[in-house]
Amino acid sequence: SAVISQKPSRDICQRGTSLTIQCQVDSQVTMMFWYRQQPGQSLTLIATANQGSEATYESGFVIDKFPISRPNLTFSTLTVSNMSPEDSSIYLCSVSQASQFFGPGTRLTVL
């Protein structure tokens, strides 16, 4: 399976600021996804990161809050904009390669 890395691994941010999370894959993949895992909960799909076009967002998630870039087949970023404490979560990227595999996650705490 692909090796997936994320940066940063964790961060503590002030409300009102924005954080960009990077996801790097060691091989070219067509499908990349971003998930959110709120404390003590399961994973929820935020969006599908499409290479060369705008991301496809799930219900309840909007581009202004979670802008996503996908400049090539090995890299994507997710920005959490204008953060509030409710955005404190683990953010995970995943890739579809026969099955779906996840990165290690970015643990975000918003004060």
Applying CB under 8 A, the residues found at the interface with another protein are: 1, 4, 31, 33, 37, 39-45, 48, 58, 90, 92, 94, 96, 99-105, 107
52 conformational bin, left if phi > 0, alpha if psi -120 to 50, beta if neither: left
Given the complex with another protein, which of 28 and 82 has the nearer CB atom?
Answer: 28
Q: How far apart are the first and last CA of the chain?
A: 36
Nearer to another protein, 76 or 82 (CB): 76
CB 38 within 8 A of CB 18: no
Nearer Cβ to another protein, position 56 or 82? 56
Q: Please give the single-letter amino acid code of residue 103.
A: G
Minimum gap (Å) between residue 48 Cβ and another protein = 7
* Main-chain dihedrals φ then ψ at residue 77, nearest 5 degrees: -125, 150
Measured between alpha carbons, how far is 42 from 44 in angstroms, rounded to an integer? Answer: 7
Query: At closest approach, how far in Å is the CB of 99 from another protein?
Result: 5
Nearer to another protein, 14 or 99 (CB): 99
Considering the complex, what minimum distance in angstroms separates the CB of residue 6 from another protein? 8
| Closest CB 65 distance from another protein, rounded Å | 19
Angle, CA of 46, 100 and 77, to the nearest 5°: 45
